Amino acid sequence: MTGSGGGFGTLIKKPVAWCVLRSDRYTLELMESSGFYTMSYFPEEYRDQVIYLGTNSGRDSKKMSELKLTVARTPSGNISFEESGLLIECRLVQSSTITPADFFEQRAKDYVRESYESEHAYRKYVFGEILDIWLKR
């Protein structure tokens, strides 16, 4: 899937990447069952493929076989893409459901409350320990 919300930092003395995922993302299911995942960053020329990954769910489509990117694997066997310019491999550390009460600004509370209106549309904060990074030069 395509994700835009998130960042990098340190958590429990580990370098981590964090992202915000809707709780019904098929990708999140795969991350939680495997315990590992990768994040791939692409050059501009692959924008259409990134949008494709972000507008089709792997749950009800053959997204991966219709994708015009080359699936590759990290040495540990996790899935990535050859076209990626930056690849980050993570071990899942924490996945926490956020609630309106967690926020101190009304605008944020309203945003999170709205996301609870449809079932499974609420968000989770997902933290992964950064295990490896590959940068194409």
Ligand X SMILES: Cc1cc2nc3c(=O)[nH]c(=O)nc-3n(C[C@H](O)[C@H](O)[C@H](O)COP(=O)(O)O)c2cc1C
Q: Decide if residue 74 touches ligand X (CB under 6 A).
A: no
Q: Which of 9, 34, 47, 55 binds ligand X (CB under 6 A)?
A: 55
Distance, CA of 113 to CA of 105 (rounded, Å): 12
Piece of the chain touching ligand X by CB under 6 A; list 35-43, 55-63, 87-95, 111-119: 55-63
From 56, 74, 94, 95, residue interacting with ligand X (rule: CB under 6 A): 56
Contact of 37 with 90, CB cutoff 8 Å = yes
Task: Please count the other Cβ atoms lying within 10 Å of the Cβ belonging to residue 123.
Answer: 20
Q: How many CB atoms lie within 10 A of CB 113?
A: 14
26-46 as b/e, with b when 16 or more CB fall inside 10 Å? ebbeebeeeebbbbbebeeeb
87 binds ligand X (CB under 6 A): no
Rule CB under 6 A: choose which of 20, 79, 92, 93 binds ligand X: 20
Residue, CB closest to ligand X? 54
Smallest CA-to-CA distance from 15 within 135, 129, 134, 137 is with 129
Beta carbon of residue 67, minimum distance to ligand X (angstroms, whole number): 11
Q: Is 108 in the site for ligand X (CB under 6 A)?
A: no
11 binds ligand X (CB under 6 A): no
Q: Which of 18, 49, 57, 95 binds ligand X (CB under 6 A)?
A: 57
Residue 67 as a binder of ligand X (CB under 6 A): the answer is no
